[in-house]
Structure 1
Amino acid sequence: MNGICTLANDTVCDQLIALLNSIEIILGSNTPVCIYPFDDQIQQIKAQIANRPNVFIYEDSASIQRWDEFMQAAAPERLNRKKSRLYGAHRRFCAFDGPFAKFIYLDADTLVMNSLDAVFQKLELSDFVVYDFQFRDPTKVYNIQSPKLLEVFEQNRIDSQIFCSGFYGSKQGLFDQNTRDWLVAELQSGDAEILYAGAGEQPLLNYMVMKTGTNSYNFACSLPDSEKTGCSVTSPHFQTQDKILYDKGNRLTYIHYIGVQPDLIRRVCAGENIDFPYRDLFLHYRYLREPEKRPIFTEPLKSYADISGRSLLQRVLGRLRINL
């Protein structure tokens, strides 16, 4: 069985609801969806999915513990809750244990905009499939100042194989225990210095895929320029038609609300009139099942910069330096 995976806790409950509604509309109400628990705070999520028979929370505690232990051995600094808000982000790796033979992982702050059949089809030929432009900025995946980096990976691989961990397709069993043990040994023998010090689990997942020589495919590198699309809310030029986004006439596969913080989403859903890119689209999917609860804004519109001192674009590009 194939399915969709995501990672969530109650902090991103609004985003999760929007994602699940987009999956229901675009992919179908019978599409199986597995939610990996970011932490134990999932009471709101459990209530929200009670009437969604196709959605379930991953409860294999042994699998979760295995990946917690792997993360502790491979990159312990990313499990420091006081220093990193992304300390539980690695639990998306549980998808490599199951429950789907082939799966597509999406961050909770994404919306599906198109069929994902092409991604599943590519998984017939490749073991890892992505669609993003992170390869244009390796500095948020690897420590490019490390002299060891080019000893581990050739420059052409760094220039072409890096990806964002917010959307990818892969397969059950890709990283078995022996492979994980080998990866940990390589990291502890010196490879750890090549990883970017931030960004949660993303550097580690890139390392895992590239170090093992996993056969990967990126639509953003392979499609003709006339067909490829962006995927980030930092792109201001997407056009909305019938609640779907288009990039120069091409329908997006997904939209990633990267940089739009959960607290801002909560405030907007509570009725605070704060703008963010493609807000109406997000609110459409968030309240698709309960339109009567959609907030009615009575105060003047405030921009993201009004409450943060920086525009969303400045904030995200400060981390990614990508605008596509």
Structure 2
Amino acid sequence: MNKPKEQDQDHQDQIYILGNDRVLDQAIALLNSIRLYDPETPVVLIPYNDKYKEAAAVLGDRFGVTLFPDLTILEWLDATIEEMFGSDFFARPQQFRKQAAWFGKPGRFLYIDTDIVVFERIIAVLEYLQTYDFICCDYQHRGGIQNVFTPAILEAPGFSESVLAEIFNCGFWGSKTGLISASDWEAILAECAARPDYFDFSQKTSDQPIINYLVLKQIPNRFNLVHRPGGAPGSWAGSKFRQRDWRLFDPNMNQPLQYLHWAGFRLQPGCPYWALWQHYRDLNDWNESKRRSPRSPKFRFRLPWQS
């Protein structure tokens, strides 16, 4: 297991997803929505754990998804988390594997959770990285600091009330390789491990508090797209939107949604916008004999952190 090495190659925009066999149907829904608008952008699967072979094969065959090329980086991420925090501190330490995106192929990248579907050529949001070094697009900050920080974070150098107003959801964000080095990552983890009282883990969140600390401290040139001129639509499945032909419209912002995120919801019958999610899962005739039913007692749709 080795630290990531500095790379010097041609740059290319990429999309990263984190997943395994258990969330294959979620990944299919996401990829169906991505490929509906964008057949070409490379998509890379970061394995959530060792049970990813079926997902890698299906997503590779249907959508051209490739596997993250250096699995030793994932081992290094796992090892640094355990070394700094111990093996039992985080409820779902595998979530930190999404941070492999910082150490992937040089260029700009967009990370997307598998409990998301998109409604446009979503890679286009990376054009904001011509001006900024990090982007997100959500209203997490309106809920305050809970599930991310505690008031003690104000003791940390550089963390003012205005900085805390920039917290974000870790399910959809974009940046550039090279901004965070292996040494940066280890130093940030050491700082966080030394002050666990800075963070709100009461709802068993794992990576979101630490990654917010990393970005808010290390990347000052950041931008939440909801602050662009004219604002941006919502994206959370717990909000009320209008549906038009398998897309959603935010009546408060008078704009179509760019993406929908089922953060905090189990994808199953009765969850918000279930029929919409089913539509994208079933798009392009996913093989009925292979699709696993959410009603089966042997399989229930869960977010990766509910594994």
The TM-score, its normalising length taken from structure 2, stands at 0.82
Contact kept in structure 2, 1:29 and 1:54, CA below 8 Å: no
Structure 1 residue 196 and structure 2 residue 200: aligned?
A: yes
Which of 106, 121, 127 aligns to 2:133? It is: 127
Contact kept in structure 2, 1:141 and 1:196, CA below 8 Å: yes
Which of 24, 30, 35 aligns to 1:13? It is: 24
Displacement of 1:70 in angstroms is: 2.8
Displacement of 1:185 in angstroms is: 3.6
Displacement of 1:232 in angstroms is: 0.7
Equivalent in the alignment of 1:255:
260
Q: RMSD in angstroms over aligned alpha carbons?
A: 2.4
Which of 239, 243, 246 aligns to 1:240? It is: 243
Equivalent in the alignment of 1:40:
50
Displacement of 1:288 in angstroms is: 0.8
Contact kept in structure 1, 2:106 and 2:178, CA below 8 Å: no
CA distance in 2 between partners of 1:56 and 1:118 (Å): 20
Structure 1 residue 143 and structure 2 residue 153: aligned?
A: no
Structure 1 residue 285 and structure 2 residue 280: aligned?
A: yes
CA distance in 1 between partners of 2:211 and 2:192 (Å): 12
Aligned ranges 1:28-177 → 2 under 5 Å: 28-52=38-62, 54-76=64-86, 80=88, 84=91, 86-136=92-142, 137-144=144-151, 146=152, 148-152=153-157, 153-159=159-165, 161-177=166-182
The one-letter amino acid of 1:143's match is T
Contact kept in structure 2, 1:23 and 1:31, CA below 8 Å: no
Name the SS of the counterpart of 2:34 in structure 1. helix
Name the SS of the counterpart of 2:236 in structure 1. coil
CA distance in 2 between partners of 1:53 and 1:292 (Å): 14
The one-letter amino acid of 1:166's match is G
Name the SS of the counterpart of 2:189 in structure 1. helix
Displacement of 1:291 in angstroms is: 6.1
Task: Please identify runs of 4+ aligned residues in structure 1 that moved more than 3 A.
Answer: 73-76, 291-295
Which of 182, 187, 195 aligns to 2:187? It is: 182
| 1:93 to 1:126, Cα distance in 2 relative to 1, 3 A | same
Displacement of 1:49 in angstroms is: 1.9
Contact kept in structure 1, 2:265 and 2:271, CA below 8 Å: yes
CA distance in 1 between partners of 2:266 and 2:214 (Å): 28
The one-letter amino acid of 2:15's match is I
Contact kept in structure 2, 1:140 and 1:196, CA below 8 Å: yes
CA distance in 2 between partners of 1:9 and 1:122 (Å): 30
CA distance in 1 between partners of 2:30 and 2:145 (Å): 28
The one-letter amino acid of 1:233's match is A
Task: Report how many residues are paired.
Answer: 275
| 1:195 to 1:240, Cα distance in 2 relative to 1, 3 A | same
CA distance in 2 between partners of 1:6 and 1:125 (Å): 24
The TM-score, its normalising length taken from structure 1, stands at 0.78
CA distance in 2 between partners of 1:292 and 1:119 (Å): 32
CA distance in 2 between partners of 1:44 and 1:194 (Å): 39
The one-letter amino acid of 1:102's match is R
The one-letter amino acid of 1:142's match is F
Displacement of 1:191 in angstroms is: 3.3
The one-letter amino acid of 1:181's match is E
Displacement of 1:284 in angstroms is: 1.0
| 1:49 to 1:277, Cα distance in 2 relative to 1, 3 A | same
CA distance in 2 between partners of 1:52 and 1:99 (Å): 22
CA distance in 1 between partners of 2:220 and 2:78 (Å): 22
| 1:177 to 1:100, Cα distance in 2 relative to 1, 3 A | closer
Equivalent in the alignment of 2:33:
22
Aligned ranges 1:264-303 → 2 under 5 Å: 264=268, 274-290=269-285, 293=288
CA distance in 2 between partners of 1:129 and 1:3 (Å): 14
Displacement of 1:67 in angstroms is: 1.5
CA distance in 2 between partners of 1:36 and 1:100 (Å): 16
Displacement of 1:53 in angstroms is: 5.6
